[in-house]
Amino acid sequence: MEFITLEVKPRERLGTGPARRARREGRIPVVLYGMGRRNLSLELSAEGLDRFLRTGSHLVELRMGEETRPAIVREVQYDPLTSAVVHVDFQRVDKNVEIDDQVPVVLKGVARGTKEGGVLQHLRDRVGVRARPRDLPQEIVVDVSDLGVGDGVHVADLALPAGVTPTDEPGTLVVQVTEFRPQVVETPAEVAPEGAVAAGATPPPAGDAAPAR
């Protein structure tokens, strides 16, 4: 995974109001933290951030003046109504020190078991890994073509690049093909009105009827 340079500058004013104003003007508030140093409140252009997010990389070099700071994206916050990015958290990294990250799992092919009536279940869309920043894969591709009904792929089965180790349990299922079982919906028994005989029920003997008055 490659580092992508983003231009940032310090936020002059903090708080909800200034943050909203910055977003209206096309700037996104961000925070840089980690490695025992003080947190930095920064901002960058929404357009530049959007281009970066489209690359699929998590690694950035935040450039402020003549200085650059390598970092990794840890959280992207979105507006629940518009889905626009409202805030990003970056964590400082050392390019030569291993870090943990969550990498997307991409499925390739059509599972053989689905042609036999099975159902493909993608149980983990991301897998935890540990590696030096540049060794982090952008995605992990899993070929499901040979999976029959009852087959699955575990974390231990993943083909990871050199220098990358999984942090999830080896036995964790990532994808599997299960037998299709149609859901049986039980229809509740019909309730007869008071004094009426339910369908299929045997009416009481005539001698048990209440005497007429």
Q: What are phi and psi of 7, to 5 degrees?
A: -80, 130
Long-range contacts of 22-27 (CB under 8 A, 24+ apart): 23/84, 23/86
pTM, rounded to two decimals:
0.74
pLDDT at 154 over 70: yes
The reply to whether 170 falls in a domain is: yes
At residue 207, the pLDDT reads: 52
Please indicate, yes or no, whether residues 55 and 114 belong to a single structural domain of this protein.
no
DSSP assigned state of 138:
S
Please indicate, yes or no, whether residues 121 and 74 belong to a single structural domain of this protein.
no
Query: 29, 61, 93 — which closes off a domain?
Result: 93
Give percent above pLDDT 90 in the chain. 69
Among residues 122, 141, 136, the alpha carbon closest in space to that of 166 is found at 136
For residue 68, give every residue at least 6 positions away whose Cβ sits within 8 Å of its Cβ, in sequence order, or none. Answer: 5, 61, 62
Please indicate, yes or no, whether residues 54 and 82 belong to a single structural domain of this protein.
yes
The reply to whether 190 falls in a domain is: no
At residue 212, the pLDDT reads: 47
Render pLDDT for 72-106 as a digit per residue (tens, 0 to 9).
Answer: 999 999 989 888 999 999 999 999 999 999 999 99
CATH number of the domain to which 35 belongs: 2.40.240.10
Yes or no: say if 133 and 70 are a contact pair by the CB < 8 Å rule.
Answer: yes
CATH number of the domain to which 173 belongs: 2.170.120.20
Overall number of domains in the chain: 2
The reply to whether 196 falls in a domain is: no
At residue 205, the pLDDT reads: 56
Yes or no: say if 165 and 129 are a contact pair by the CB < 8 Å rule.
Answer: yes
At residue 185, the pLDDT reads: 64
Cα separation, 50 vs 72, in Å, equals 15
Render pLDDT for 30-76 as a digit per residue (tens, 0 to 9).
Answer: 999 999 999 999 999 999 999 999 998 999 999 998 899 999 999 99
CA angle 88, 54, 172 (to 5 degrees): 80
Domain ranges, residue 172: 100-179
Higher pLDDT, 195 or 160: 160
Higher pLDDT, 187 or 112: 112
pLDDT at 213 over 50: no
Please indicate, yes or no, whether residues 165 and 108 belong to a single structural domain of this protein.
yes
pLDDT band (50, 70, 90) for residue 129: very high
Cα separation, 119 vs 113, in Å, equals 7
Q: What are phi and psi of 155, to 5 degrees?
A: -55, -40
